[in-house]
Structure 1
Amino acid sequence: MKVRIDDKFAAFAEHWRPKIVAQANGQDIRLVKTKGIFPWHSHADAEETFLCWRGEFRIEFRDHVVTLGPGEMVVVPRGVEHRTASDEEAEVLIFEPSEVVNTGDAEASEFTAPPGIRI
């Protein structure tokens, strides 16, 4: 199935609520709009891959920060504490196992996305 990523991003406005756009081999490909700062968390059993589509997006670790622009990506290793952030709105693709909760081991909050939301 062909997916026009720009059209999918245009279909929603909320921040920090990933939407499943496709699935492959037990992984979700999720789209998320970001603005502000997401809570610190980790995922004990899964790596996360972030690919910046539009804007500037950063992944903050306790000892350094990785800033991504369009077309750049980073893999966060399993078990590594991190948080994500963007000063202005950014659009990001996330590749991770389907069972991963976006807030990882952080306490459930307004940032915790409902599972299984497709776009």
Structure 2
Amino acid sequence: MDVIRLQEKFALIDEHWRPKVAGRLNGQEVKLVKVQGVFPWHSHADADEIFLVHRSRFRVEFRDHIADMGPGEFVLVPRGVEHRTAADEEAEVLMFEPTGVVNTGNVQDAVFTAPNGIEI
């Protein structure tokens, strides 16, 4: 029941595209991730995701539109919807998703697939 200070937690992250668990509740994980560049196209058959921007600009690209966001804005990606994420400059993002969701969904990628359950 300690206060989680996002700025302090993000300062502990020194790599891109490697989500870290900052909290758990009701079978969900709150993950923090620093991003820059473009992530691979993928989908999650059994999980919805929320991306909430903490710092900088971040976008979620869908095949038919782009959700471009700044701090304090979020987008919900429904399960099964193909998407990719991107940021032109380093961004800090909170992700909310069920425990155990692989960040690359239905795609295995040597560069982008991150280990699950790493806590900060």
Return the TM-score normalized by structure 1: 0.98
Q: Match of 1:5?
A: 6
Write the distance in 2 (CA, Å) between the matches of 1:75 and 1:52: 12
Q: Deviation of residue 107 (structure 1)? A: 2.2
Moved over 3 A (4+): none
2:21 matches 1:32:
no
Identity of aligned residues (%): 62
Q: Match of 2:46?
A: 45
* Partner secondary structure for residue 118 of structure 2: coil
Q: Match of 2:57?
A: 56
Write the distance in 2 (CA, Å) between the matches of 1:99 and 1:16: 16
The unaligned stretches of length 5 or more in structure 2 are none
Deviations 1:43-93 (A, max 9, x none): 000100000000000000011100010000010000000000000000000
Write the distance in 2 (CA, Å) between the matches of 1:40 and 1:109: 14
* Partner secondary structure for residue 115 of structure 1: coil
Q: Match of 1:113?
A: 114
Write the distance in 2 (CA, Å) between the matches of 1:68 and 1:13: 22
Write the distance in 2 (CA, Å) between the matches of 1:11 and 1:61: 30
Tell me if structure 1 keeps the 8 A contact 2:53–2:93. yes
Q: Write the letter of the residue equivalent to 1:25.
A: N
Return the TM-score normalized by structure 2: 0.97
Corresponding residue pairs, total: 119
